[in-house]
Structure 1
Amino acid sequence: MMTSPLVQTDWLQDHLTDTDLRIIEIRGKVLPPTEPPPHYLSDRAGYEAAHIPGAVYVDWQVDIVEPGSPSNDIASPARFSALMQALGVSGRSRVVIADDAGGMFATRLRWALRYYGHEAVQILDGGWTKWIAEGRTTSADIPQYPRGGFQARANPRLIATAEDILQSLADGGMQLIDTRSPGEFSGVASRAKHVGHIPTAINLPRSVLVADDLTLKPADELRLVMEGSNIDLNAEDCVLYCNSGVSATYGMLAMEVLGAKNLRIYDGSWKDWGSDPATPKAR
């Protein structure tokens, strides 16, 4: 039974040959909004050159995104199911995800799997970066697994929409957390047409949750961060957002580690909200 959303490199090294284990690598990076585009980059070539033995690859910009979505929304149930089946994922699979971006791509995929009904999924703490820093085994072999039986069944308790947030701004009761940079939160920069943040939102930059070795900070440090930001870990409804629902899932992970419940992701995030001239914005 899994008791944590995280696994450590020692554990993974010891379980590489488990038949029910599927390791997924999801590599790439995000450039600051002040840099010239493109800002979102994948790294399939890096995976093909060397990866954790037995790991398969997912392109975070293409494979788990609904084609044509301006805010990079999560892929449809049919599209997501087809991807997981092709990777050999079934209902009984234990999925471990690793990235090289400080965890945020991995947590995005973890959220997607949980949203579509698969709870047996964990993050490799420190990811590919920590794995190679420790000199662990790598491979260039591309594994092939029998087609899996994964079937997506959406869980609406893990997702929020702009309409949900607009209603909460009128009625109250929702804690909003923005995991973008302070500059984006304050309106100095933006990846959408408009600048600023959603009214009442609390800024919790993902960078304050990550340790120097790209692992999640220890629980006692995370708790101090939450307290310093006046974040209520016992909120009855907490919605996290970023630019397109990626770094927000890392904030969700940190809050889960501290025991928070009732957490949702605004999938469209600022690319949705900040592109709509009718939505209220604060600076």
Structure 2
Amino acid sequence: MALDDPKTLVSTDWLEAHLRDPDLRILDGSWFLPTMEGDAKASYDAAHIPGARFFDIDEISDSRSSLPHMAPPVEKFVSRMRAMGVGDGHQVVVYDQMGIFSAPRVWWTFRLMGKTDIAVLDGGLPKWIAEGRETEDLPPMMRDRHMTVQRQANLVKDVTQVAHASKLGDYEIIDARAHGRFIGVDPEPRPGLRQGHIPGSKNVPYTELLHADGTMKTPEELRATFAAAGVDLAKPAITTCGSGVNAAMLALALEVAGNHDWAVYDGAWAEWGMYNDLKVATGEA
């Protein structure tokens, strides 16, 4: 049962009921890991929820960084959203083609920019299609819309801040990668990275946040999932993963579970795993 909270998660029923609202904007935020097959933009072009615009996570990013899809500068985000007709006064709903996978990254990017009227579609496009709801292959009509943003620096952490948190233990550092990657027995999908995890971090694989149908667990179930991994929800949290996408899924889950004091480590393992002077832990905690 979805929360139908337009600031976190909304159900397919909610979206269908609001589909023709003039101030609703729908985004397809699909993105695939390097090891996955598929072309997110081509799939969007073939079939998307009516009126949806495609949010390209790799393109709407910081092109000055050598790390994958780091958060975009404010100016770039604003210019891309204006061109897509997304601006002030809009309720945004973002979905992806896998259920809930990359859409939370778009949700977090909006939150980082101070925009809170955004929700992830619970169950995403697979649930929408499975329920026989409408799709189209037409590009949406887009008119420029003014957008004002105020970047929320507290929602993102850099490598220095994460290294301090790892040393001091004053944050719960939560890693969304699969357990085999976390303990260092399975290879990383990006070449050249060390294997293992940030010392002191806890492992909550992103798949454990979801029901079998691809919808997110209830707040009570999420709290139990975090507790089972040894996460103290009373402490502030830093979320991480391979490249910052599933870290945002943990952030969304924390928000739904009632912990509002969280930040995403944007560089994630793509950064931490690259530098030999940063300590790496392996094996079980």
* TM-score, normalised relative to structure 2: 0.91
1:109-258 mapped onto 2 (5 Å cutoff): 109-188=106-185, 189-190=187-188, 191=190, 192-235=192-235, 237-258=236-257
CA separation of 1:139/1:259 partners in 2, compared to 1, >3 Å: closer, same or farther? same
1:254-265 mapped onto 2 (5 Å cutoff): 254-265=253-264
Which residue is 2:26 aligned to? Answer: 23
Superposed displacement of residue 220, structure 1: 2.9
Superposed CA offset, 1:143-202 (max 9, x none): 122201123321111001111122223433111111111111111222352111100000
Superposed displacement of residue 245, structure 1: 0.8
Superposed displacement of residue 113, structure 1: 0.4
Rounded Cα–Cα distance in structure 2 between residues aligned with 1:152 and 1:215 = 30
Rounded Cα–Cα distance in structure 2 between residues aligned with 1:260 and 1:49 = 38
2:44 counterpart SS class: helix
CA separation of 1:218/1:169 partners in 2, compared to 1, >3 Å: closer, same or farther? closer
1:270 aligns with 2:266: no
1:29 counterpart SS class: coil
Which residue is 2:97 aligned to? Answer: 100
Amino acid paired to 1:20? D
Determine which of 74, 78, 84 is the counterpart of 1:77: 74
Rounded Cα–Cα distance in structure 2 between residues aligned with 1:55 and 1:19 = 13
Contact 1:42 1:60 in 2 (8 A): no
For these two proteins, the number of residue pairs brought into alignment is: 275
Contact 1:104 1:249 in 2 (8 A): no
1:255 counterpart SS class: helix
Rounded Cα–Cα distance in structure 2 between residues aligned with 1:280 and 1:102 = 34
Contact 1:96 1:123 in 2 (8 A): yes
Superposed displacement of residue 223, structure 1: 2.3
Rounded Cα–Cα distance in structure 2 between residues aligned with 1:219 and 1:149 = 35
Amino acid paired to 2:125? W
Rounded Cα–Cα distance in structure 2 between residues aligned with 1:141 and 1:193 = 41
Which residue is 1:36 aligned to? Answer: none
Contact 2:166 2:173 in 1 (8 A): no
Amino acid paired to 1:119? T
1:12 aligns with 2:15: yes
Superposed displacement of residue 25, structure 1: 0.7
CA separation of 1:195/1:255 partners in 2, compared to 1, >3 Å: closer, same or farther? same
Would you identify which runs of 4 or more consecutive aligned residues in structure 1 move more than 6 Å? none
Superposed displacement of residue 218, structure 1: 2.5
Rounded Cα–Cα distance in structure 1 between residues aligned with 2:270 and 2:5 = 34
The alignment-based identity, stated in percent, is 34
Superposed CA offset, 1:189-221 (max 9, x none): 223521111000001100111111111122332
Contact 2:248 2:264 in 1 (8 A): yes
Contact 2:169 2:200 in 1 (8 A): no
Residues 265-274 or 215-224, more deviating: 215-224
Superposed displacement of residue 69, structure 1: 2.6
